[in-house]
Amino acid sequence: MPGQESRVKFLFAVHSHQPVGNFDFVFREAYDSCYLPFLECLTKHPTVKANLHYSGVLLEWMKENRPEYLKMLRQMVESGQLEILTGGFYEPILPIIPDGDKLGQIQMLTEFIREEFGYEPVGLWLAERVWEPHLPKSLSSAGVKYLIVDDAHFKYSGLEDKQLKGYYLTEEEGYTLALFPSSKKLRYLIPFRPVGEFIDFMRELSQAGGQPVITYGDDGEKFGVWPGTHKHCYEEGWLEEFFSALEENSDVIETVHASEVIKTIPPLGRIYLPTASYSEMMQWALPSESYIKFEDFEKRLKEEELFESYHIFVRGGFWRNFLAKYPESNNMHKKMLWVGEKINRIGKVQLSSEEEELLIEIKREKYRGQCNCAYWHGVFGGLYLPHLRGAMYKHLINAERLTDRLRREKNGWVDVHRFDFDRDGKKELIVETPKLNVYLKPDKGGTLFELDYKPKGINLLDTLTRREEGYHRQLSESVAGENTETVESIHDRLEVKESGLEQLLFYDWYDRKSLIDHFLGKETTLESFSRCQYEEKGDFINQPYQLEVKEQTEGTRIHLRRDGHIWVGSNWIPLTLEKILSVPKEGAEFEILYRLWNRHSAKIEVLFGVEFNISMLEGGLDNSRLFVKGKHQEEAELNSTLEVARSTAFGIRDKSMGLEVAVETDTPATLWSFPIETVSLSESGLEKNYQSSVIFAHWHLELPAGSPVELRLVQRISEL
């Protein structure tokens, strides 16, 4: 009854993770500044129970580099202090991967926990708390009995705070799950507010009567990795004070494991949650214009003192819309599905024991390529970080390469696929050989949008288009290097990591791919072109090309053609452009023949160019160089801006990878090169990221009436 003080059961859950592909020094720094001191502090308070989750990515690294940490965890599990949660081993967004992969990833982490800690987990940490209503069937089938989602998920179903002091059951086709609501209030109190405020909040709960259960579930990196939190939590002693306060107030607060709660306390009822994630994630998923409107509307609600009462009815977007907001994310996702389809076809044939072992490794590579971090972007760099995207492609391409070993002879071969790869309603063309994957979009300029070099597991077109983000408007309102006096949640802080970022806010009106066909005016400069602030004279970019594919003895011939127009003065002149790619069965090069037909009655002059984007960042900026061959051979840093006349070869050389990507032409070209640099948000502030280098070869051409002019190029990938 109200007024009677009761003991609050406090479910304290902490999730720790590092992305697949993150730098080793980041793992080490996070371990030293956060994971180790957190656990050491917790061991000093053995009566404080905690529910911990570590992604398989992090556990693999610890087993290899810090095995003593796993021993500490096992001892704490055996003492009854810790409950360990399972999840997808490589921390995928579960709703967007196939059901078989959901089961496989969860079983992999559950088996690891069983072997390393002698514990059978029944709870699951849901990556980024991305919930969709179909999940209970898959998760229950994997042995999961409960999971933690945000209290916002429940409020979107119409519940209020007073109804969230426990857990609920949900189901799909009769498969049930217990759902615990993680308190947003606690997530903003811990560890950013004085411990006394937390204790006051818990005492208020205890006075409400009943059997209150309150859940906290959030990132472990808040305790040492996020800016300012190591000093706050350890040097200034916040975490020690927090655990001590839990012990000193044990008459009011009882720390519990979730599995104990579902055994001893009945559910508050049945619930069906809508699709949701945490509120910030749902705002990030919105297109930039809607992002700004959402932010402005929330600000207005706060100014009119309506936010607390009504903000729950103001929802952002849907996680899957990251796949619409960022085509680069969608391409990775559809690549993952495509690789999965090829692996599934292998599973239907009889395999030897050695081949079965290889198939296990292939699936593990695919699972690594499902790690969520590179597929979205918010306050964390995510998709904008080239090394995270590069890791996804590396593992997915490795899975393909190993799959080739099971289904193909070693000698030269070509596979040609024509289907709607990116699920946009139009068919793409994929040509695969032992060393290359060549992905083309006939409906969008006949562009090359993925080029994989399989032996190194690299997509040489793994770049980003420069686009407006909702937070870009805040650049003018921020001061570079500004520091705050207090420790804040990363959701509440914005810092600018270097000056001059506002000068990089150029936005592309077309996707940064390769074999992009440009017709420019004479007034176009390298600067205006690099800023995407110029006038295109033709109607070839982003427009459909006719496609004809011929499989020949030595390889595949791809004929792309568009009957388009260009502006010559004030005249709209008909012009036909053909580009013919010849992809051989062996080797790592292909030829591109351009043929331009002037359909006008008189000779015309044009400035025609072909844009290449090349991304080679595995060795970092310091180990890669642009090179240009012309009258003299030149080398430059990867993020340089260059203009070179009469060039016959150009490309990028990465010494650490031992790889060179070159384009050669038999007609000397004027070469422009410049970096694609984006301004993005990370947990430490707004920052610049190099994505790729544009290399634009162009020619002043005289096109006689009715007869073609040809240009021949060869793109070659070679190991140094």
481 shares its domain with 380: no
Look at residue 563 and tell me if it is in a domain. yes
330 shares its domain with 259: no
490 shares its domain with 390: no
Look at residue 447 and tell me if it is in a domain. no
Instruction: For residue 496, give the nearest of 227, 226, 685 by alpha carbon.
Output: 685
pLDDT at 411 over 70: yes
pLDDT value of residue 496: 83
Look at residue 148 and tell me if it is in a domain. yes
pLDDT value of residue 5: 66
257 shares its domain with 332: no
CA–CA separation, 56 vs 72, rounded Å? 17
Q: Which residue has the higher pLDDT, 303 or 1?
A: 303
Catalytic, out of 101, 116, 128, 428: 128
pTM for the full model? Answer: 0.94
Instruction: For residue 20, give the nearest of 105, 91, 94, 103 by alpha carbon.
Output: 91
pLDDT value of residue 407: 81
pLDDT at 2 over 70: no
Yes or no: say if 158 and 168 are a contact pair by the CB < 8 Å rule.
Answer: no
Catalytic, out of 219, 280, 591, 643: 219
Look at residue 299 and tell me if it is in a domain. no
CA–CA separation, 404 vs 362, rounded Å? 10
Q: What is the CATH number of the domain that holds 185?
A: 3.20.110.20
pLDDT at 487 over 50: no
Q: SS3 for 340?
A: helix
What does the chain come to in residues? 720
273 shares its domain with 335: no
pLDDT at 80 over 60: yes
Over residues 573-586, the mean pLDDT reads 97
pLDDT at 686 over 80: yes
398 shares its domain with 477: no
327 shares its domain with 272: no
Over residues 122-130, the mean pLDDT reads 97
Question: What whole-number percentage of the chain has pLDDT above 70?
Answer: 96
Least confidently predicted of 114-128, 173-187, 507-521, 678-692:
678-692
Consecutive H or E run containing 62: helix 56-65
Consecutive H or E run containing 241: helix 238-248
Look at residue 436 and tell me if it is in a domain. no
pLDDT value of residue 634: 85
Is 24 an active-site residue? Answer: no
Over residues 336-362, the mean pLDDT reads 90
Look at residue 431 and tell me if it is in a domain. no
pLDDT value of residue 622: 79
Average pLDDT, the chain: 93
Name the phi and psi angles at 258, rounded to 5. Answer: -60, -35
Instruction: For residue 226, give the nearest of 23, 502, 495 by alpha carbon.
Output: 495
**Domain final residue, candidates 227, 249, 277:** 277
Instruction: For residue 239, give the nearest of 256, 224, 218 by alpha carbon.
Output: 224
Instruction: Provide the β-strand partners of residue 448.
Output: 440, 514
**Domain final residue, candidates 262, 277, 292:** 277
Look at the chain and report how many structural domains it folds into.
Answer: 3
Q: Which pLDDT tens digit goes with each residue over 581-631? A: 999 999 999 999 999 999 999 999 999 999 999 998 776 677 889 999 987
369 shares its domain with 252: no
330 shares its domain with 240: no
**Domain final residue, candidates 407, 429, 451:** 407
Find the DSSP H helices in 589-672.
Answer: none
CA–CA separation, 552 vs 259, rounded Å? 63
Q: Which pLDDT tens digit goes with each residue over 134-159? A: 999 999 999 999 999 999 999 999 99
Look at residue 283 and tell me if it is in a domain. no
Residue 189: pLDDT band with limits 50, 70, 90:
very high
Instruction: Provide the β-strand partners of residue 256.
Output: 11
Q: What is the CATH number of the domain that holds 523?
A: 2.70.98.10
Instruction: For residue 377, give the nearest of 503, 461, 444, 471 by alpha carbon.
Output: 471
pLDDT value of residue 4: 59
pLDDT value of residue 619: 60
Instruction: Using alpha carbons, list the distances in angstroms from residue 172 to 121, 124, 135, 137.
Output: 21, 17, 8, 6
Q: Which pLDDT tens digit goes with each residue over 488-499? A: 545 555 678 788
Q: Which pLDDT tens digit goes with each residue over 416-448? A: 999 999 999 999 999 999 999 999 999 999 999
Tokens of 627: 């090179």
CA–CA separation, 391 vs 101, rounded Å? 19
Q: Which residues contact 387 (CB under 8 A, 6 or more apart)?
A: 21, 22, 23, 617, 618
Instruction: Using alpha carbons, list the distances in angstroms from residue 640 to 88, 193, 401, 627, 665.
Output: 41, 46, 33, 11, 22
Burial-class residue 440 by CB neighbours within 10 Å (0-12, 13-18, 19+). Answer: buried
Beta strands in 599-707 (DSSP E): 604-614, 624-629, 633-637, 642-654, 659-682, 685-703
Residue with tokens 């009462």: 309
Look at residue 161 and tell me if it is in a domain. yes
CA–CA separation, 46 vs 717, rounded Å? 58
CA–CA separation, 115 vs 89, rounded Å? 14
Burial-class residue 645 by CB neighbours within 10 Å (0-12, 13-18, 19+). Answer: exposed
Residue 481: pLDDT band with limits 50, 70, 90:
very low
Tokens of 116: 């390393």
382 shares its domain with 247: no
Over residues 351-359, the mean pLDDT reads 90
Over residues 495-524, the mean pLDDT reads 93
Q: How far is CA 572 from the centre of its chain?
A: 43
575 shares its domain with 698: yes
37 shares its domain with 170: yes
Domain that holds residue 687: 470-719
Is 409 an active-site residue? Answer: no
pLDDT value of residue 7: 92
